[in-house]
A and B are shown apart, each in its own frame.
Chain A
Amino acid sequence: MKLNIELNKLSDTPLYVQIKDAIKNAILDGRYLDQAKLPTEEILCSIYSISRPVVQRAYQALMDEGLVTRHQGKGTYVNRQMVLTNLMFRKEDEKYLNQLHLSPSSRLMVIEKIHKDEFVTLVNEKHEMYYALKRILYANLMPIVYEIFYFPQTMFEDFIDNIHENSDFEQQFLNAQSPNTIQQFTQMNVIESDETLSTIFNIQKGDAVFKVGMSYRFEDHRLCHYKLAYYPGKHHQIDMKAD
């Protein structure tokens, strides 16, 4: 596996960061496969004419981020695929990812207007019009969840009118979710990835994905919002103590 790193010794970015980022991108892109062995520190030093401490620091940073594991006497290997446990049970998923040092980030894809007729789960709710907000959640730049939030138009009219390129709409929306909402599952299936999901998660068409529906209600049972979320099987599992 050839690793091509373009090092810029004059850049402000420390060398070890440049090396770390290059390897990290190769891993996240799938160019470095699961269980592949990274070049030894000596080899990296000689190929790029850099000192040993720099390379050591880069490898240490990769280990800290959970991307590689060192096996004493054997070498450094790309970790198993990042597997998250019980993420779908967490009300505050970004906070949880932060605790695991998994740098959460997100990308808002689109906001659509829909009528409650178009989404059967909403048919008994009193609101007519909803917004569907679609976004992707990343951990360490790897896409791990695709979420669609459905919320009543009237509740968030102000936000929608004030969206511009740089506004932190998403954060405002998420902050506005009352922490006192009661979260409940309404569906859980395993489906085969279609074109959209394959592109989002960078997986093969047909790969297994958890599909989960959840409602968030206030104490008086009014719907705050509904969420449909997709969790690719290779990155997620559920663990529970039974009985």
Chain B
Amino acid sequence: MNIETLKINRNMSVSLNIQLYRAIKNAIQSGQFKAGEQCPTEKELRDHFHISRSVIQSAYTALMEQNFIHRIRGRGTFVVEQTIDLDFKQVIQPMVDLIEKHGHKASLAFVRKNILKFDFDLMGNLELSLEDDVLEVTRVFLADDEPVAYFSYYYPLKHFKDIQTFDFSALKITEPLHSVYPDQFSSNFRSIFAINLDDEICELLKLPKKSAGFKIHTLSYCKGGTPSTSTTYYLKGYGINLNLDFLNRFIV
């Protein structure tokens, strides 16, 4: 990012913070400052333009508020990347479609498979007892080998016979098992949270520790109305935009 290209004129009547804001905004919109590029540091701006800290902070705050740039703790400030829209009607297929539409390759990396005892906080209200065994399958979703999402599926063994023998690595990328156990995915209830992600998730998604992100918990019900399985997706908070048309339907 070339700081020389930014033009600031002390003699203009427009205040300096607005000039700086507009200069960087234009540079980003015209493509001069590219998506993912690091923005000039406060020191660079002060040394080059001889402007004060408060001028810089004011301009950067405005740019951040409007999603042009974002700060990654410990690393610096960066131009926001292309955002991925997610329709929470489904999560995986739209992600695949959008990634492929932009000419990238979508893939899944298998992380692990575990049998756990039912845990309400982790798995949601599956209406199981603490003795029940649940298969946890964890994967990371990649766009061109860049991790985008981390997710875990939970399959209570008593509802899903033979699931332990299932070969998850052979599964197609889209929602698995709907065709194999169709009755178990009759309807879904979704909860979305803003959380600070666990260390393991941050590491797999290549984010700084305790980065903020979305946690999306989906509880699926079978035809009879009892809960059958749940899935939890963890996504980075930035660079991922939820499909807003879908959300707009929920406005009361």
Interface residues of A (CB under 8 A from B): 86, 89-91, 115, 117-121, 183-192, 194, 206-210, 228, 231-233, 236-243
Report the separation of the CA atoms of residues A19 and B61 in the bound assembly, to the nearest whole angstrom: 43
Q: Is the pair A192, B66 in contact by a Cβ cutoff of 8 Å?
A: no
B179 at the interface (CB under 8 A from A): no
Whether A242 pairs with B65 at a CB distance below 8 angstroms is no
Residues in B neighbouring A188, C-beta threshold 8 A = 241-242, 244, 247
- Nearest-neighbour CB distance to chain A for B64, whole angstroms, equals 8
Neighbouring B residues of A119 by C-beta, 8 Å: 62, 65-66
CB-based contact A191/B238 at 8 Å: yes
Q: Could you list 19 further interchain pairs (A-B, Cβ under 8 angstroms) beyond the known A187-B241, A190-B237? A: A89-B250, A91-B252, A188-B247, A190-B238, A192-B73, A206-B73, A206-B210, A210-B194, A233-B195, A233-B212, A237-B191, A237-B192, A238-B193, A239-B190, A240-B88, A240-B192, A241-B187, A242-B89, A242-B218
List B residues at the A interface (Cβ < 8 Å).
Answer: 18, 21-22, 25, 62, 65-68, 70-71, 73, 88-89, 187-196, 210-214, 218, 237-238, 240-242, 244, 247-248, 250-252
B192 x A238 contact (CB < 8 A): yes
Q: For residue B177, give the distance in angstroms from its CB to the closest CB of chain A.
A: 15
Are A208 and B250 also in contact (CB < 8 A) when A188-B241, A188-B242, A188-B244 are? Answer: no
Contacts of B251 in A (CB 8 A): 89, 91, 183-184
Could you write out 17 A-B pairs with CB less than 8 Å apart? A89-B250, A119-B65, A187-B244, A188-B242, A189-B67, A190-B195, A190-B238, A192-B73, A206-B210, A210-B194, A232-B194, A238-B191, A239-B190, A239-B191, A240-B189, A240-B192, A243-B188
**Known A208-B213, A241-B188; contact A120-B68, beta-carbon cutoff 8 A:** yes
Minimum C-beta distance from B22 to chain A (A): 6
Q: How far is A237 from B251 in the complex, measured between Cα atoms in Å?
A: 14
B247 proximity list for chain A (CB < 8 A): 89, 185, 188
**What is the CB-to-nearest-CB distance from B248 to chain A, in angstroms, rounded to a whole number?**
5
Q: How far is the CB of B52 from chain A (nearest CB, A)?
A: 17
Among B22, B238, B251, the one with the most A-chain Cβ atoms within 10 Å of its Cβ is: B251
- How far apart are the CA atoms of A117 and B24 in the complex, in Å? 12
Tell me which residues across on chain B come within 8 A of A117, comparing CB atoms. 18, 22
Closest to B189 in A: A241
| Closest-CB distance, A242 to chain B (whole angstroms) | 4
Residues on the B chain within 8 Å of A86, using CB:
250, 252
The minimal Cβ–Cβ distance linking A203 to chain B, given in whole angstroms, is 11
Q: How far is the CA of A89 from the CA of B242 in the complex (A)?
A: 14
Cβ of B71 to closest chain A Cβ, rounded Å: 8
> In this complex, what residue of B is CB-closest to A232?
B194
Chain B residues, Cβ within 8 Å of A228: 65
8 shortest interchain CB distances as A-B pairs: A190-B237, A233-B194, A208-B212, A238-B192, A185-B244, A208-B194, A242-B188, A190-B194
- Residues of B near A185 (CB, < 8 A) are 244, 247-248
Q: Give the residue name and chain of the A residue nearest to B72 (CB).
A: A192
Q: Is the CB of A239 within 8 A of B244?
A: no
Contact yes or no, A190 B212, CB < 8 A:
yes
Question: Which of A118, A189, A208, A242 makes the CB contact (< 8 A) with B195?
Answer: A208
B212 touches A191 (CB 8 A): yes
Please give me the residue from chain A that is nearest to B187 by CB atom.
Answer: A243
How distant is B15 from chain A, measured CB to nearest CB, in Å?
Answer: 10
A184 to B212, CA, bound (A): 24
Give the residues in chain A near B188, CB-CB below 8 Å: 241-243
Q: Kindly list chain A residues whose C-beta atoms are within 8 Å of the C-beta of B211.
A: 192
User: Which residues of chain A are near B68, meaning CB under 8 Å?
Assistant: 120
Chain B nearest CB: distance from A199 CB in Å? 14
List residues of chain B with CB within 8 A of the CB of A191.
70, 212, 237-238
**Which residue from chain A places its CB closest to the CB of B188 in the assembled complex?**
A242
B252 adjacent to A190 (CB under 8 Å): no
Selected contact of B66 from candidates A115, A120, A236, A242, CB within 8 Å:
A120
Q: Which residues of A contact B250 (CB under 8 A)?
A: 86, 89, 240
Closest B residue, CB atoms, query A228:
B65
